[in-house]
Structure 1
Amino acid sequence: MIKNIVFDFGGVLLDWNPRYLYNDYFKDGREMEYFLANICTLERNSELDRGVPFQEWVAKYQAMFPQYSEAIALYHTGWPKMLRDSIPEGTALLEDLKSKGYSIYGLTNWSAETIGFAYGRFGFFKDFDGIVVSGEEKVTKPDPEIFRILLDRYGLDAGECVFLDDSPVNVAAAASLGFNAVLFDDIGRVRAELDMVLNRK
């Protein structure tokens, strides 16, 4: 029996994208795409998600790419602009599931230094029964360790949890640990799959 719903944040509940910041900084869209593909990449952003301090991270990449020193610094100082808004389909789903009595948990790859900004900006975080943030634990999805931290901290059974994430790799990792894992892509498909999982006898 499913008792708990575990939400990823970015791409499920929150619309985060560095382009929202750098569209205003770079005059040339091609240079912005080069910068995000080769300098401040998502792979390097994952270091922040694993708990590397922003100040240390910025200094490291400024030394490697001095010609982009200002733009790299902006990744820290301008970070709030990367977080545009909530994702209506995701937050509506959260509200529906909460109203039906399911416990709501969060498991997110996110910097410990910026998660507080998200908490302060979006009221739906009050609906969560517990949250595990990778930057605070120094381990990110899809490492099984962060899933175990969630289960152990809140006394959860993976088989009683639905896990929602927009990353196929993270969904596969959760499924391998016994979670009822659902890929968050098309909301109609997501709701249909959820209905099947939640109504399974």
Structure 2
Amino acid sequence: MYRHLFWDLGGTLVDTYPALDDAFAAVVREHGHEVELIEVARLTRRSTGEAVRTLSQRFGIAPERFEQANAALKKRWETDPAPAMPGAQELMARVHAAGGLNLVVTHRDRASATDLVQGLGLEVDDLVSTCDGHPRKPDPEMYRVLLERHGLDVAECLAVGDRPIDAEAAHRAGMHAVVLEDPEMPVDDDAEHQVSRLEELAGLLGLD
């Protein structure tokens, strides 16, 4: 039975996708084109970088324009953060009550990630970031750092993410993974579990 959760941040613990989709769609429209929001969403669910490349090539818009929109969005989140994913606070509290740890593995810089989880009232026990000098996922180094730091049995750990790279990184660290996905936009990944709501994780943790 799993006890400890290794959380991705954006798109998993924090509901960042709607604002990102809107921002990229706005860039397309500002350049005189039309794009359905669902088209943008399908791209961002795979990766922000892929969304930038695809939209840039399709509409003949410089990639920098999308990157600027993304940077402006992150700046806005410093004072007006995206909301926590539904069910996140409750599930994390239940993990703590059962003696488990909530650990965050993120590409976001440490200061903004820490401010974000604290501002949203998320009970995080530890957090590692690429700005600590670790390579980006799917490299498993950040997961391994947390495993070693807390002396955890990998069999009791479950990585929670929303993209294939989250599952890949977790597998390379020796742990199982679950992907949070929108049923209308399924993700092609190798995770052992898929859920559409965070509440569904309770069963995997024996918390039902």
Per the shorter chain, which TM-score range? 0.5 to 0.7
120 and 44 in structure 1: CA distance in 2 versus 1, 3 angstrom threshold: farther
The aligned counterpart of 2:196 is: 186
Q: Give the letter aligned to residue 163 of structure 1.
A: A
Q: For 2:5, what is the secondary structure of its paired residue?
A: strand
Give identity over the alignment, percent: 22
Q: CA deviation at 1:86?
A: 0.9
Q: Which of the residues 60, 82, 95 maps onto 1:84?
A: 82
CA separation of 1:171/1:73 partners in 2, compared to 1, >3 Å: closer, same or farther?
A: closer
How far is 1:24 from its partner? 5.6
Distance change >3 Å, CA 174–CA 21, structure 1 → 2: same
Select 2:48's aligned residue among 42, 47, 51.
42
* Secondary structure, aligned partner of 1:181: strand
The one-letter amino acid of 2:8's match is D
Q: Kindly tell me: are residues 100 and 172 of structure 1, through their superposed partners in 2, closer, same or farther at Cα, counting changes over 3 Å?
A: same
The structure whose residues are more often helix, as a share, is 1
Q: Does 1:6 align with 2:2?
A: no
Q: Tell me the equivalent position of 2:107.
A: 109
Q: CA deviation at 1:169?
A: 4.0
Give the corresponding residue for 1:74.
Answer: 69
User: Which one-letter code corresponds to 1:106 in the other structure?
Assistant: V
Tell me by how many angstroms 1:8 deviates: 1.7
Pair 1:167 & 2:163 matched: yes
- Taking only aligned residues, the RMSD between alpha carbons, in angstroms, comes to 3.8
Q: Any idea what the Cα deviations from partners look like across 1:134-184, whole Å, max 9, x if unmatched?
A: 233341222122221222333333223222222244224423533243333
Output the TM-score relative to the length of structure 2.
0.63
| Helix, strand or coil at the partner of 1:91 | helix
Per-residue Cα deviation, 1:31-82 (whole angstroms, up to 9, x for no partner): 9868x96xxx712799xxxxxxxxxxxxxx9xxx886766543332332457
Separation in 1 of the partners of 2:76 and 2:25?
10
Contact 1:182 1:193 in 2 (8 A): no
Counterpart check, 1:129 vs 2:125: yes
Instruction: Flag the 1:20–1:95 CA change in 2: closer, same or farther, 3 A.
Output: farther
Shift of 1:14: 0.3
SS at match of 1:118: helix
Tell whether the 8 Å contact from 2:159 to 2:166 is kept in structure 1 after alignment.
no
Aligned residues: 175
TM-score, normalization: structure 1? 0.64
Residue 167 to residue 135, structure 1, CA distance change in 2 (3 Å): same
Instruction: Give ranges in structure 2 of 5+ residues lacking alignment.
Output: 181-194
Deviations along 1:112-133, whole A, 9 cap, x unmatched? 4642552453121xx2221111
Question: Which amino acid is 2:143 matched to?
Answer: F
Q: 1:103 to 1:189 in 2, by over 3 A?
A: closer
